[in-house]
Structure 1
Amino acid sequence: MCGLFINADADLWESKTRSMRIEGVVTSIRMETFFWNILQEIACRDEMTVNQLVTKLYLESLDADHDVGNFTSFLRVCCGRYLSLSADGHLQRDEAKPLAGLASAKLIEKETEAANLRQLNAANRRGESH
Structure 2
Amino acid sequence: MCYMYASTDPSRYECTTRSVRLQGCVTSVRLENEFWEILEQIASGQQLSTAQFISQLHSEVFSSRGEVPNLASLLRVACAVYQQSAIQQRNVNVSMG
The TM-score with structure 1 as length reference comes to 0.66
Q: After TM superposition, where is structure 1 displaced by more than 3 Å over at least 4 residues in a row?
A: none
Query: 1:26 aligns to what?
Result: 26
Name which of structure 1's ranges 32-41 and 19-28 shifts more when overlaid on structure 2: 19-28
* Percent of aligned pairs sharing the same letter: 34
- C-alpha deviation, 1:90, in angstroms: 6.4
Q: Unaligned 5+ residue runs, structure 1?
A: 92-130
Q: Unaligned 5+ residue runs, structure 2?
A: 92-97
> Larger relative CO (CA 8 A, sep 6+): 1 or 2?
2
- C-alpha deviation, 1:89, in angstroms: 2.1
Greater fraction of residues in helix: 2
Distance in 2 of aligned mates of 1:3 and 1:24: 44
Distance change >3 Å, CA 29–CA 85, structure 1 → 2: same
Distance in 2 of aligned mates of 1:41 and 1:18: 16
Distance in 2 of aligned mates of 1:16 and 1:80: 18
Query: 2:57 aligns to what?
Result: 57
Larger radius of gyration: 1
How many residue pairs align between the two structures? 92
Greater fraction of residues in strand: 2
Distance in 1 of aligned mates of 2:64 and 2:21: 21
Which amino acid counterpart does residue 74 of structure 2 have in structure 1? F
